[in-house]
Structure 1
Amino acid sequence: MAMSLVEPAAPVVEEELPAGLVEAGVYPSERAASEHGLVVLAMGRPYWTVATGSGQRLLIEAEVAVPAKEQLLKFDRENLNWPPPAFVEQITYPTDVITPLLWAAVVLGIFHLQGARPGWSAAGALDAVGIFGRGEWWRLGTALWLHGDGAHVVSNALSGVLLFTAVVKTFGRAAGWGLIALAAVFANLLVAALAFPVAYRSLGASTAIFAGVGLLTGRSLRVLSRAEHPHRNRAILVALASGVSVLALYGAGGGAARVDLGAHVAGFVVGVGVGFAAARSCG
């Protein structure tokens, strides 16, 4: 007759609870039990943890058992999916600095030629009366390449290289430049339409630059709106506030008289809409 060499395990005998205490729950670790014990402490009552064969027992006073267990259930529900997943989205587009640098070189070259050809500014600047009164629709695009003075063009060239690199990195080279052009032209159309029939003239690439800020902001809003996150609305507000802050800090021009605040705001607003729509179509 075969005999088993394995002795049956002795049953685990749970210790009797001290008088006046009840078990609120059993948790897999001391840390988990202590985290739940903090809920009891927040009620102004003590707790105890006891290690047993089945886990860490959380003991509380019997007189607060009912309200304490209700609070523990609420704590478990609120932390069901905690910590939440991070807002992470893979960007597969390579960093492209070449095309933004080429853009800046063209802008600087055109400004150099403007000195010898002053008629370019008159013929290519954004002109509300020229567009809607005389049908000179090319001004919506040509105005983005012309500048009024050296400080204006250098500032826009430096800002554009940094900003457009981020846009191209985010949307891809072809899509990024296409969206910048689309948002900037529509922003020029918007600001000219709002000004007409009053005489309004403007030139400069800053409309495109703030359209780029809007594109990045709009895409962020779209990505966050699709995220399953308990603090999604807060994150959306932060993203929008960040874009508006950039507009306020750099778009107002410190109160300078020649700064076209309307064009900057139009570029940002149109960019937000285009960026949101572009991110939606890609998703």
Structure 2
Amino acid sequence: MDENASEEDLPDLVPVGAWPSLGEAQEHALVVLAMNRECWIFPAAGQYAVLAPPAEVPVIHREFALYESEQSERQVRVEPPVFPAGIELALVWALSLLVVFWWQGQDLSVVDRFCNSSKALVEGGEWWRAFTSLFLHADAGHLLSNIGIGGIFCVMVAHTVGAWRGWALILGGGMLGNLVNAWARYPNDFASIGASTATFAAVGVLTGVATLRAWRLHSLRELRPLMVPLLTGLIVLGWYGSGGEGPDAARTDVAGHVAGWTGGFLLGAAVQKFERTKSTAAV
């Protein structure tokens, strides 16, 4: 790019664009130079034109179109809102788990009546067990790990999509995971309890929302907010979600965790897609 050359010293050139300021012309000339092509800038009718050999015009125009599209997306992009943490709902959830755990100690039949059960669900049509089992726990350690670790993810979901909607997605994803897990285990006599399916559904919601945002904006940068929940989820899975070895390995429901994550991912992506459709219609 030579801004001081005269038109007589140059080969046959044609304009590929003109801009009102020299800065804008130079910006587009840099786009051409990044393509390893030559170009020149000349004043023309009160504007600054970028000139190039005729054979380069089609490919330069395509590159300009892509560049303008990227710039437009950056200008109109609206940062996703950050909602309140919904601590009140998280406390209600924790209190509910504690109350149900106390009830389990008072009535030993509670687990059999409300656990997730493949035969009861398929043969008896007791689909509600997929929901009620999320409130049951095997022991105090199981309960406290789900309140502590699960609470972190649930607050993150509330920050991302709102507290009420977030909890609906978490419980819905957990219930969906339990339904799929029980149906897949049938005709085996399978039963499961615990809020960990909902915990992994929360991780799935975060993943689904971030993935769809990145897809919509064609930018992997949108996946950066996903790194913390995703890496933490992998750590949690390694701690108590993947089975492994030890006395608790046999009772760890890995399939339920994967099903909960998948259910949360699908619901999170669907909500993000709906938000995009609604905002587009409003415009």
Structure of larger gyration radius: 1
Output the TM-score relative to the length of structure 2. Answer: 0.70
Q: Which amino acid aligns with 2:142?
A: H
Three-state SS of the structure 2 residue aligned to 1:259 is coil
Three-state SS of the structure 2 residue aligned to 1:82 is helix
Kindly state the Cα deviation for residue 156 of structure 1 after the two structures are TM-superposed. Answer: 1.0
Q: Determine if the alignment matches structure 1 residue 29 to structure 2 residue 29.
A: no
**Cα 1:123/1:66, change in 2 over 3 Å:** same
Q: Determine if the alignment matches structure 1 residue 189 to structure 2 residue 179.
A: yes
Q: Which amino acid aligns with 1:131?
A: L
Partners of 1:176 and 1:57 in 2: CA distance? 52
Moved more, 151-160 or 214-223: 214-223
Moved more, 110-119 or 144-153: 110-119
Q: Determine if the alignment matches structure 1 residue 178 to structure 2 residue 155.
A: no
Match among 76, 94, 110 for residue 64 of structure 2? 76
Q: Determine if the alignment matches structure 1 residue 165 to structure 2 residue 155.
A: yes
Q: Which amino acid aligns with 1:31?
A: G
**Cα 1:204/1:90, change in 2 over 3 Å:** same
Q: For residue 203 of structure 2, what is the aligned residue in structure 1?
A: 213
Unaligned runs of 5+ in 2: 279-283
Q: Which amino acid aligns with 1:193?
A: W
Kindly state the Cα deviation for residue 125 of structure 1 after the two structures are TM-superposed. Answer: 2.6
Partners of 2:51 and 2:176 in 1: CA distance? 66
Q: For residue 263 of structure 2, what is the aligned residue in structure 1?
A: 270
Aligned 8 A contact 2:14 2:54 in 1? no
Three-state SS of the structure 2 residue aligned to 1:160 is helix
Three-state SS of the structure 2 residue aligned to 1:80 is helix
Partners of 2:28 and 2:211 in 1: CA distance? 36
Q: Which amino acid aligns with 1:183?
A: G
Aligned 8 A contact 1:221 1:239 in 2? no
Q: Which amino acid aligns with 2:46?
A: S
Partners of 2:210 and 2:37 in 1: CA distance? 45
Q: Determine if the alignment matches structure 1 residue 251 to structure 2 residue 251.
A: no
**Cα 1:270/1:40, change in 2 over 3 Å:** closer
Aligned 8 A contact 2:177 2:260 in 1? yes
Query: C-alpha offsets along residues 59-105 of structure 1, whole Å, 9 cap, x if unaligned?
Result: 66xxxx22343443233222232314255355485431111022113
Provide the alpha-carbon RMSD of the alignment.
3.9
Q: Which amino acid aligns with 2:268?
A: G
Moved more, 65-74 or 263-272: 65-74
User: Greater helix share, 1 or 2?
Assistant: 2
Kindly state the Cα deviation for residue 208 of structure 1 after the two structures are TM-superposed. Answer: 1.2
Partners of 2:31 and 2:256 in 1: CA distance? 54
Match among 98, 110, 118 for residue 100 of structure 2? 110
Partners of 2:201 and 2:224 in 1: CA distance? 19
**Cα 1:240/1:262, change in 2 over 3 Å:** farther
5 Å matches for 1:59-98? 65-86=53-74, 87-88=77-78, 91=81, 94-98=84-88
**Cα 1:200/1:77, change in 2 over 3 Å:** same
Output the TM-score relative to the length of structure 1. Answer: 0.70
Partners of 2:35 and 2:202 in 1: CA distance? 51
Kindly state the Cα deviation for residue 111 of structure 1 after the two structures are TM-superposed. Answer: 3.0
Partners of 2:31 and 2:84 in 1: CA distance? 48
Query: C-alpha offsets along residues 153-180 of structure 1, whole Å, 9 cap, x if unaligned?
Result: 2221122322222334444444433333
Unaligned runs of 5+ in 1: 1-14
Aligned 8 A contact 2:42 2:50 in 1? yes
**Same amino acid, percent of matched pairs:** 30
Q: For residue 155 of structure 1, what is the aligned residue in structure 2?
A: 145
Kindly state the Cα deviation for residue 195 of structure 1 after the two structures are TM-superposed. Answer: 0.5
